[in-house]
């Protein structure tokens, strides 16, 4: 397999995953209108993370779906920035160090998932 074949394969994959991401977003919008079972935000973000961030962002803007929903919007923007930095580092070898810096800055800015607080033990008796 030559480098040109690999590039064509990657571009084909990106076209398919972006079409799938757009379709998933459109289906979720339709299901929201009809009050049906929805596609989870985790699934929508997973399609974006798998390379469909362009399709997801395009669908988000065109369909006006989940444009104000937090933290979905912020997570999607982080995914888009990470993929843009990764693509820049692939096509332009010079900014690889800058891409690493961007990834580290993004990773540092994303808050860690807080562990839920443990419930206090129940007290029985007067005043409980």
The whole-model pTM stands at 0.68
CB hemisphere CA count around 5 (13 angstroms) = 2
Identify which of 67, 27, 68, 70 has the alpha carbon closest to the alpha carbon of residue 47: 27
**Proportion of the chain above pLDDT 70, given as a percent:** 84
Tens digit of pLDDT for each residue in 61-93?
Answer: 898 878 777 888 888 889 998 888 887 777 776
**Domains of the chain: which residue ranges?**
9-109
pLDDT band at 13 (very low <50, low <70, confident <90, very high): very high
Task: Identify the residue with better confidence: 98 or 40.
Answer: 40
């Amino acid at each position: 397999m030559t480098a040109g074949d690999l590039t064509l394969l990657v571009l084909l994959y990106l076209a398919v995953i972006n079409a799938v991401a757009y379709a998933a977003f459109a289906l979720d919008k339709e299901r929201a209108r009809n009050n049906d079972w929805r596609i989870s935000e985790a699934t929508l973000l997973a399609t974006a993370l798998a390379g469909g961030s362009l399709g997801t962002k395009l669908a988000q803007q065109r369909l006006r779906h989940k444009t104000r929903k937090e933290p979905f919007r912020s997570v999607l923007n982080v995914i888009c920035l990470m993929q843009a930095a990764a693509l820049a580092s692939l096509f332009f070898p010079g900014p690889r160090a800058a891409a690493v810096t961007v990834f580290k800055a993004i990773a540092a800015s994303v808050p860690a998932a807080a562990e839920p607080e443990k419930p206090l033990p129940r007290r029985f008796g007067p005043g409980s």
